[in-house]
Structure 1
Amino acid sequence: MKRITPKRFLKSWGDRFWKLAIKPGKPFAFGKLSNSWFCGLPGNPVSATLTFYQLVQPLLAKLSGNTASGLPARQRVRTASRLKKTPGRLDFQRGVLQRNADGELEVTTTGHQGSHIFSSFSLGNCFIVLERDRGNVDVGEWVEVEPFNALFGGL
């Protein structure tokens, strides 16, 4: 008897996609079962939280008739720490957005960025959004950030 996996189950139904070129959050399922939309979140806590706020929340807003994207406006700031990144996927690293001694906004990493390290959300206050083709980022380079307060309803 074949083992029933979510992928095998969903394959027997209608339209769907299974993987995304984002980090964290690559294993994400989306499609339609009969007349209902479904979203399958990844298993790791950081991946599940990220994909919910970046993908599911905007989808729910749109399906509810909201014309806004549901995503916060991104800001360009300089990074105060070196960021590791391998090209090939859009990367959402957790960071701390703050003012430096000159009063300018800058961002630092929360440290290790593993999809199982949920403390990166409690330590951080923003996503550092690194483009798909970008590699490592040196101190002083420009990056885009999305503040958490807009995502989490001002918490």
Structure 2
Amino acid sequence: MHDFNSYYHSSLDNIQHINKIFFEKCAKLSIATLASYAVLQTTSSVENIIPNELTLYQNYPNPFNPSTVINYKLSTASFVTLKVHDSLGREVTTLVNKYQQPGAYSTTFGTSHLTLSSGVYFYTLYTGENLIVRKMVLTK
């Protein structure tokens, strides 16, 4: 059995007939292309790592069941409290209650251990004199 396909090969296929310069250029181009993807591209700097202001992001997913992720950024070191309240203002739980350095943070609000009904809940971020509130929806 021959491994010969006339579409791809001819009787002239041998090492003497290969265009070595063309082959070398193709090989270098392939290697350079692959190498460019291997270079770590980074655009972060100190300004991007430390936020300019206090930020509380919308939870994700929203609506949620049984858990959701809440992200926030601190521009200065401060004592942080992140609480969840129901639509009547009653405290459901405290997610964060500690001193934190500037930077980005993430916490998860899980409801599997709580007896909560479907509805609107509010999460509040307190940092010293600052307060930010966002709304989230629990579906069952």
TM-score normalised by length of structure 2:
0.30
Q: Please state which structure has a larger fraction of its residues in strand.
A: 2
